[in-house]
């Protein structure tokens, strides 16, 4: 293994073919999920329980999950970002597209950056529940700030901070804990045996 392909912390940063294929596959799969959630979001957000506008962010954690799962599975620099961005792109161009148009790509960019920074913070060496939850929360924070300028420029600070809190909660629970649970479930089936998550599951068993 050459030093150019290994980080200072000792892990291999080279992308294998299976890593690239998995990032692409996860991105496409989540893109289709995002597209479906796009269609369900508006009627759900109009329910009486969401009469307080910032609380609609409780539904947004679904859109943050791709980056968290991509980072937990592939565990290489850029995996979380790429998976989230691919998912956003797919949800934009799939039949019917996204009601938010190409601004969905900007959302994918910021969400992916948020998740990626958390994995970077831990030098791509820790992938437990806490890291997953933090990745979901930070992805939510980046997206919330983007939405303040793009969708809610007239909101005052109490609304913005409430929106951020609801968004972060959704990111922690749905994208973080949910994404972590999904990866564990996939690992138990054996489909992740070529990845760290699959090997960890085998050790536990």
Question: Tens digit of pLDDT for each residue in 135-160?
Answer: 999 999 999 999 999 999 999 999 99
pLDDT of 169 > 70? The answer is yes
Query: In this structure, what token pair is assigned to residue 102?
Result: 């190409």
Confidence of residue 204 (pLDDT cuts 50, 70, 90): low
pLDDT of 2 > 90? The answer is no
- Look up the pTM and report it: 0.90
| Residues forming beta bridges with residue 12, ordered by sequence position | 6
pLDDT at 40: 87
Task: Spell 51-85 as b/e; 16+ CB within 10 A means b.
Answer: eeebbbbbbbbbbbbbbbbbbbbbbbbbbbbbbbb
Domain that holds residue 178: 3-204
Tell the residue number behind the tokens 């409780």, with chain if given: 58
Give 113-137 pLDDT, tens digit per residue.
Answer: 999 999 999 999 999 999 999 999 9
- The Cα 205–Cα 202 span in angstroms is 5
Share above pLDDT 70 across residues of the chain, in percent, rounded to a whole number: 89
- Domain total in the chain: 1
């Amino acid at each position: 293994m050459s030093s150019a392909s290994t980080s200072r912390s000792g892990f291999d940063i080279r992308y294998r073919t299976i890593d690239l294929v998995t990032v692409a596959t996860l991105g496409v799969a989540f893109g289709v999920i995002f597209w479906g959630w796009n269609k369900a979001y508006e009627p759900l957000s109009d329910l009486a329980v969401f009469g307080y506008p910032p609380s609609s962010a409780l539904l947004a954690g679904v859109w943050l999950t791709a980056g968290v799962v991509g980072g937990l599975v592939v565990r290489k620099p850029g995996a979380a970002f790429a998976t989230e961005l691919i998912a956003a792109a797919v949800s934009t161009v799939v039949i019917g597209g996204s009601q938010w148009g190409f601004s969905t790509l900007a959302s994918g960019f910021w969400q992916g950056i948020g998740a990626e920074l958390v994995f970077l913070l831990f030098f791509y060496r820790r992938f437990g529940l806490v890291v997953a939850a933090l990745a979901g929360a930070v992805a939510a924070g980046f997206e919330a700030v983007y939405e303040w300028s793009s969708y809610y420029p007239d909101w005052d600070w109490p609304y913005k901070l409430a929106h951020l809190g609801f968004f972060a909660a959704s990111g922690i629970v749905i994208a973080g804990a949910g994404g972590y649970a999904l990866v564990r479930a996939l690992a138990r089936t054996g489909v992740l045996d070529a990845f760290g998550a699959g090997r960890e599951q085998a050790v536990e068993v």
